[in-house]
């Protein structure tokens, strides 16, 4: 078993973040109530916590932020749960790589509302993530037609005019 620890932060999946550095007392942060989905967001929390420690923020204050921080609107934002399916709004998620990372954080099928502004990305790379993590794909915004052409065949897909129609 590999036991060497490096200085900094590390995760004990799925819900414990460890602070391990000689300049601070070891500490475990509880991620059970973290509202941000995905490993990439846990990595961001670790970086933010280390930056906070460097400027003298207490472990208690860091833990409070972990449990109260709310995700930004339209970025893998939880909308509702119905018939054992979670609805998420990712209408700002036109960065395909961040969307892939977010979708890969789901074990259960989701209804994904996506689209927004087209940034010229190639949406075909989303095929695996859409096939494996999305039950229904609801597309809205400028990018909806392009996304539909690229991955619309891999989930039951609906094109709508507004976010209100999507919900």
**Would you state the pLDDT for residue 6?**
62
Look up the pTM and report it: 0.67
Identify the pLDDT of residue 4: 56
User: Cβ(116)–Cβ(143) under 8 Å?
Assistant: yes
Question: Hey, what CATH topology would domain 77-166 get?
Answer: 3.90.190
Nearby residues of 39 by Cβ (< 8 Å), 6 or more positions away: 101, 104, 105
Residues of each domain in the chain carrying CATH 3.90.190.20: 77-166
Residue owning tokens 């209100």: 164
Instruction: Determine the pLDDT at residue 5.
Output: 57
- Which backbone phi and psi does 80 adopt, to 5 degrees? -165, 165
pLDDT per residue of the chain (167 residues) written in tens, 0 to 9? 545 556 788 888 778 888 888 788 889 999 999 988 888 888 899 999 999 999 999 999 999 999 999 988 888 788 888 888 777 777 776 688 888 888 888 887 888 888 888 888 999 999 999 999 999 999 999 999 999 999 999 999 999 999 889 87
């Amino acid at each position: 078993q590999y036991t060497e620890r490096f200085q900094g932060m590390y995760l004990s999946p799925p819900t414990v973040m460890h602070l391990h550095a000689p300049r601070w007392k070891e500490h475990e942060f509880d991620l059970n109530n973290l509202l941000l989905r995905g490993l990439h967001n846990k990595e961001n929390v670790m970086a933010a916590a280390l930056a906070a420690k460097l400027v003298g923020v207490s472990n208690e204050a860091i833990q409070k932020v972990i449990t109260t921080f709310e995700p930004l609107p339209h970025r893998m934002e939880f909308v509702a749960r119905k018939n054992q399916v979670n609805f998420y709004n990712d209408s700002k998620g036109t960065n395909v790589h961040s969307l892939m990372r977010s979708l890969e954080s789901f074990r259960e099928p989701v209804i994904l509302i996506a689209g927004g502004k087209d940034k010229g990305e190639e949406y075909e790379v989303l095929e695996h993530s859409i096939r494996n993590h999305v039950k229904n794909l609801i597309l809205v915004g400028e990018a909806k037609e392009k996304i539909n052409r690229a991955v619309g065949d891999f989930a039951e897909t609906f094109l709508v005019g507004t976010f209100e129609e999507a919900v």
